[in-house]
Amino acid sequence: MNLANYLKRINYTGEVKPDLATLTAIHRAHLLAIPYENLDIHRDCPVTVDVAQIYEKIVMEHRGGWCFEMNGLFEWVLREVGFDVTLMSSYVGRSEVTETGVGDHLIMRVMLDKPYLADVGFGNGFIEPLPLAEGTYQQGYLSFALSQKECRWWFQNHIYGGFGYDFDLKPYQLSDFAGQSTRLQTSPESGFVRATVCMRFTPEGYIALRGAVLRTVTSAGEADETIDNLSRYEQILSEQFDLHLPDVDALWDKVWARHQMWVKDNNT
């Protein structure tokens, strides 16, 4: 595991030191270069919470990952640089607290002059770290909010992004999320099992490929395209997400079959 290889992977050539400017720059560069994706689940390739294996996949094999991989790797990077960083647990998309403990989403707190919320593993969240303080935060044309109720924090995503998440400040280790990682990649009830997802930020916004539907989000709004053939699907993965899979044809067969089933279910 080598920090220089990671910085090359995210196309970062700036100064590296444990300050807010570096944190903001590499957080942004990570999200512009590395896609959020869950394709291995649909390729029958188990997803790990071992940071060395995550590094090999994302940095050396030029892949993306989901929250446990993306934020697990980013925590290692921040520690290598010298940041004071803590992994935390969160729960996505709920309106009230029904349980606490190891949730379904991994996030980070970074301590500088004040605490910051870092998260490169949410797919369509904030591109730069947020101060961990109540308020509304604007990043380009996207608006986010953080609020606190008793001992829990609530992150509200932008209007195009859907769900936010809630969390407390209890520290965790990456290995603590092994059970959730296994559940989310094997349970028939898991959204990660039901559909493929790829997301990546662009200078104009972000792109999201859910199953066979590509959504592009810019300041002008949302635009959707249904992908209906292997050639176009492979082109999107390659050109839009910089993903090059040897078994893309088999993956496409699964994606298209699920899409046709979804269309049928929604038209009956």
Structure tokens, 80: 């290598």
Token duo for residue 172: 């965790």
Q: Tokens standing for 151?
A: 């001992």
From residue 65, how far is each of 17, 69, 124, 139, 149 by CA, in Å?
25, 5, 13, 23, 31
Catalytic residue from among 30, 42, 67, 198: 67
Q: Is 67 a catalytic residue?
A: yes
Determine whether 119 is an active site residue: yes
Token couple for 106: 């991994």
**Strand order from edge to edge, sheet including 130-131:** 130-131, 115-118, 105-111, 84-92, 165-167, 152-156, 142-149, 135-139
Phi, psi of 79 (to 5 degrees): -65, -40
> Catalytic annotation on 105?
yes
Instruction: Write down the catalytic residue from 40, 104, 119, 166.
Output: 119
Beta bridge partners of 144: 137
Structure tokens at 24: 């903001």
Which is the catalytic residue, given 27, 30, 42, 105?
105
Q: Which of 114, 117, 88, 162 is nearest to 27 (CA)?
A: 117
Active site residues: 67, 105, 119
